[in-house]
Structure 1
Amino acid sequence: MHRVAASGVAGSANQVIELLTGEVVANAVVHGPEHGRVRVAVRIDHRGVRVAVTDESPARPQVQHPAPTAVSGRGMALVEALSRTWGVDEHGDEGKTVWFLVDPEAD
């Protein structure tokens, strides 16, 4: 996320982008194929910061609302709550790209 900070995005927006990126990458690693590749792309433009994480699993992420005592399952709920928008681009048997957009000015 050095590229995001270098572009001038700081404070809580930078922290949100870092948190959400970590959640989506963790999902790709945990739920993707054992030896699959994970790629992260970042685009910064007038619409905001868009992070896209591509993995080789065709399984779509699910927004869950686990019990307060559950130790996992909150990642996509965080993405849904803290990003301006998010989505999934499916690539058939080759996997998918999960992306989110954060407005660095929305503090």
Structure 2
Amino acid sequence: MVIAQPQSVDVAPPAEQSGGEHEIVLETGSASCLLPATPQAVPKGRALVRRGLKHLGADSVSDDVALVATELLANALEHGVRDADARASEPDELHRRRLDGVRISLASTGSHIVLSVTDPSPTPPVRRPRDPLSGGGRGMQLVESLSLCWGWTLLEEQDGQRLPGKSVWAMFPKTAVEKPAAQIRIQGAA
């Protein structure tokens, strides 16, 4: 199921930094981190997701959530940051806030985990139709197949200005769900 309604969400303040490194903020029921808009954000984000899921008592779903985090972070860097940089006609302060990086967050609802990646572009994600001959473009299909549902929301206003950007999110069960074993039927067998 895909839920893609452009709703607004509050922008969380950036995580505190020490020594130039971006740190994960672990709180009751959530974990988040502001990552630099560089390719190193993807493996760092994956490691932070695993740490955050352990903190939230949901490490049994860490493989699926980490894979989806990889896709959402790669999309945020490839499309969100690049799109925001191309639209750089705003005043310098607003432009700087947009390009600070991408935020990755986990939140526990009790029975579910919500992963979100926030980037500076208001352009919504696009799930491309299946094309077996294409070398790419399957990321959102992967997100859709591994999560219970996914969607995106626009960012709220901050300091009287609408911050361009969006948060793409995916929801997972808090504990791994046993998947039934695939049944193969051999024609002619009894």
Structure 2 residues without counterparts, runs of 5 or longer: 1-48, 86-98, 156-161, 179-190
1:30-41 matched pairs, under 5 angstroms: 30-34=78-82, 36=99, 37-41=101-105
Runs of 4+ in 1 over 4 A off after TM superposition: none
Identity %: 30
CA distance in 1, matches of 2:79, 2:130: 17
CA contact (8 A) 2:110 2:174 kept: no
1:1-107 matched pairs, under 5 angstroms: 1=49, 2-11=51-60, 13-34=61-82, 36=99, 37-91=101-155, 94-105=164-175, 106-107=177-178
SS of the equivalent of 2:81 reads coil
SS of the equivalent of 2:169 reads strand
Question: TM-score normalized by structure 1?
Answer: 0.85
Displacement after TM superposition at 1:93 (Å): 5.6
SS of the equivalent of 1:32 reads helix
CA distance in 2, matches of 1:72, 1:27: 12
Moved more, 15-24 or 44-53: 44-53
Displacement after TM superposition at 1:90 (Å): 1.2
CA distance in 1, matches of 2:72, 2:134: 19
CA radius of gyration, larger in: 2
Moved more, 69-78 or 55-64: 69-78
The superposition leaves residues 9-66 of structure 1 with CA deviations (integer Å, 9 ceiling, x where unpaired) of 234x210000001101110000023463211111123131111111011110011134
Higher helix share: 1
